[in-house]
Amino acid sequence: MLLDTYGRIATDLRVSLTDRCNLRCTYCMPEEGLQWLAKPELLTDDEIVRLVRLAVTELGVTEVRFTGGEPLLRPGVVGIVERCAALEPRPRLSLTTNGIGLARTARALRDAGLDRVNVSLDTLRPEVFQRLTRRKRHEDVIAGLSAAHDVGLTPVKINTVLMRGLNDDEAPALLDWAIGHDYELRFIEQMPLDPQHGWQRADMVTAEEILRQLTAHFTLTPEESSVRGSAPAERWLVNGGPARVGVIASVTRPFCRACDRTRLTADGQVRNCLFAREETDLRTALRSGEPDKRIAELWRAAMWGKKAGSGLDDPSFLQPQRPMSAIGG
């Protein structure tokens, strides 16, 4: 198992398939993009599957989420999903995407064994979408959401970041729209993971603000804490249910005590926390011919050293050097 010194056990693996993205979201990367990882630095399909197999069969991982960058830009994504779905024991498989390309791949991903998707959508207004992402692709995201729902990649979850002065007034409309389309909406506080290191706490739309907007239009009943478990989102029943809305308040309501995640970057580094400034290199071990036993030891050691919390409330907090696109969300 992947145990740390605080008694937490990591059973949820986030795997970044690429650092590349076809959007330029203002909270994620600059308009000109970033210096992408060179292909030799990226894990191969075989290396990804080997590490997922090791995590599932030897280290106690039960859930695998494929992320990026934008994971649908990975040419072998369907094959990776299919091979991971064939593992015994079979992990639950999900994917976080910006939705561009999902309309043409949803069925193939479902047939390969993907269980569900999370899709990033921050606004219902195409003009605001263009300002936030610097791309005219709003219709593609909407089509991707619909395709995922139609083929059964459910529950389809929408991840939304509210940005002050851009879309911070859209929370009620987004929730009403999501409920009408049978999607589960989750608001995420903007986190300090931008490569420009321009994040300011005062500019962030907080969970408290989001809930204040929502409760002015809906009746929200909190789920019992036992239902949440280690999930990052606090959830509420909307107008008595069954619809739900979630808020991931990583900054103002951190959930580090219940964290059960371990992360693998696209270039084969283990991160024991989204905000960690240290990584453990598994790629070199893989390519040096190390056996599974040795790689498992490195992974366990990486998790054993996990800190108690993210440190966001510490005045000495420093953002990770690598941006979210490289880390994997």
Binding-site annotation, residues for GTP: 14, 65, 96, 157, 261-263
- d(C-alpha 50, C-alpha 316), whole Å: 38
Nearest-10 Cα torsion for 226, 229, 233, 237: -30
**At residue 162, what is the residue type?**
L
Q: How far is CA 8 from CA 4, 64, 172, 227, in A?
A: 6, 18, 36, 18
Binding-site annotation, residues for [4Fe-4S] cluster: 21, 25, 28, 256, 259, 273
- d(C-alpha 90, C-alpha 85), whole Å: 6
- d(C-alpha 155, C-alpha 170), whole Å: 22
- d(C-alpha 238, C-alpha 221), whole Å: 7
Binding-site annotation, residues for S-adenosyl-L-methionine: 27, 69, 120, 191
| DSSP class per residue in 212-261 | HHHHTTS-EEEPPHHHHTT-S-EEEEETTSS-EEEEE-TTTS--GGG--E
Hey, is 200 helix, strand or coil?
A: coil
Residue in the structure block whose two tokens are 């040795």: 294
Binding-site annotation, residues: 14, 21, 25, 27-28, 65, 69, 96, 120, 157, 191, 256, 259, 261-263, 273
Residue pair 59/4 in contact by the 8 Å Cβ criterion: no
**Nearest partner of 117 among 151, 91, 85, 165, judged by Cα:** 151
